[in-house]
Copies of this chain bind each other. A is one copy, B any other.
Amino acid sequence: MVCAVQIYEKAELDNPVLIEGLPGIGFVANISALHLIHELDAKLFAEITSSSFQDLAVTTEKGGTRSPINQLYCHKSRDGGRDLIIWYGNTQALTTFGQYELCGRVLDMAQELGCQYIITLGGFKTEQTTEKPQIYCAATDPKTLKTALNLGTKIMVGEIFGIAGITIGLAKLRKLKAFSLLVETTGTQPDAEAAQQALTALTKHLNLKINLTNINLAAEKTQKTLQAFGIIRQVRQKEKKEESPFRWFV
């Protein structure tokens, strides 16, 4: 299977922008995407699982289960903004191979819906917190870069890890436009402050009216979700776990 996709509804969108919001440094993208979904009341239209996700389920307080998953939400523009596809999830893939497969699959789906423009979000790890964290950017082409810089960002210097980075690369190969917004963060905790910066720039660019006062709720929910999957704990301990045979015994 590699990736198994369940499409719940064929979204009808007009030239939509894909916004990537998976867990990563400071969980900036993840919090931002979740808050966006809540505030826009975006609609879940597809779910993706991958054989490169963790092989477990976590239980909810009410006896339900949650599995490692990626989701696509859509938002039809209401007042002059752009249509959106929001790529949310509780995990990235565990292997390089899985990352590329996942990203390629999501880009396929987005392109089928007419998407030609992508924004990836992320954190840029710094030693110290600043009061108003700076946003850095990188883009597939000079024109798109100018758009990103006009949002008050600076040019990013360094590596963009994981899905946020390879999405830019695969987009370029597919002749799509894309830029990445990376917000300064110490990266050890879900960083609501950094997510707020990302969303301020993003909503300005997309002409979206989003209330940011409740962003802490999205950060708390992100913390809770990712702790249940062992992702936040893992980051804290900075332990490198290797895949080992018989891992299905504790």
Residue positions of A touching B, CB distance < 8 A: 1, 4, 6, 22-25, 47, 49-69, 92, 94-101, 104, 125, 137-142, 145, 148-149, 155-163, 165-166, 168-170, 172-174, 180, 187, 228, 230-231, 234-235, 238, 240-250
Nearest chain B CB to A178's CB is how many angstroms away? 9
Are A138 and B63 touching (Cβ within 8 A)? yes
Are A173 and B55 touching (Cβ within 8 A)? no
Known: A53-B96, A163-B248, A231-B246. 14 other contacts (CB 8 A): A23-B248, A51-B100, A54-B96, A55-B99, A55-B100, A57-B159, A62-B145, A63-B156, A65-B165, A92-B248, A159-B228, A159-B230, A234-B245, A234-B246
Write out the residue numbers on chain B whose beta carbons fall within 8 Å of the beta carbon of A68.
169
Write out the residue numbers on chain B whose beta carbons fall within 8 Å of the beta carbon of A61.
155, 157
Are A57 and B166 touching (Cβ within 8 A)? yes
Q: How many chain copies does the complex carry?
A: 4
Are A55 and B174 touching (Cβ within 8 A)? no
**Known contacts A95-B243, A166-B56, A240-B244: does B63 contact A149 (CB below 8 Å)?**
yes
Are A56 and B159 touching (Cβ within 8 A)? yes
Nearest chain B CB to A141's CB is how many angstroms away? 7
Nearest chain B CB to A60's CB is how many angstroms away? 8
Nearest chain B CB to A197's CB is how many angstroms away? 18
Are B243 and A245 touching (Cβ within 8 A)? yes
Q: List 17 A-B contacts (CB under 8 A).
A: A1-B100, A51-B99, A55-B96, A55-B166, A56-B159, A56-B160, A57-B159, A57-B166, A58-B160, A59-B155, A60-B138, A65-B138, A65-B139, A65-B169, A67-B169, A125-B250, A159-B228
Nearest chain B CB to A116's CB is how many angstroms away? 16
Q: Which residue of B lies closest to A57 (CB)?
A: B165
Are B96 and A243 touching (Cβ within 8 A)? yes
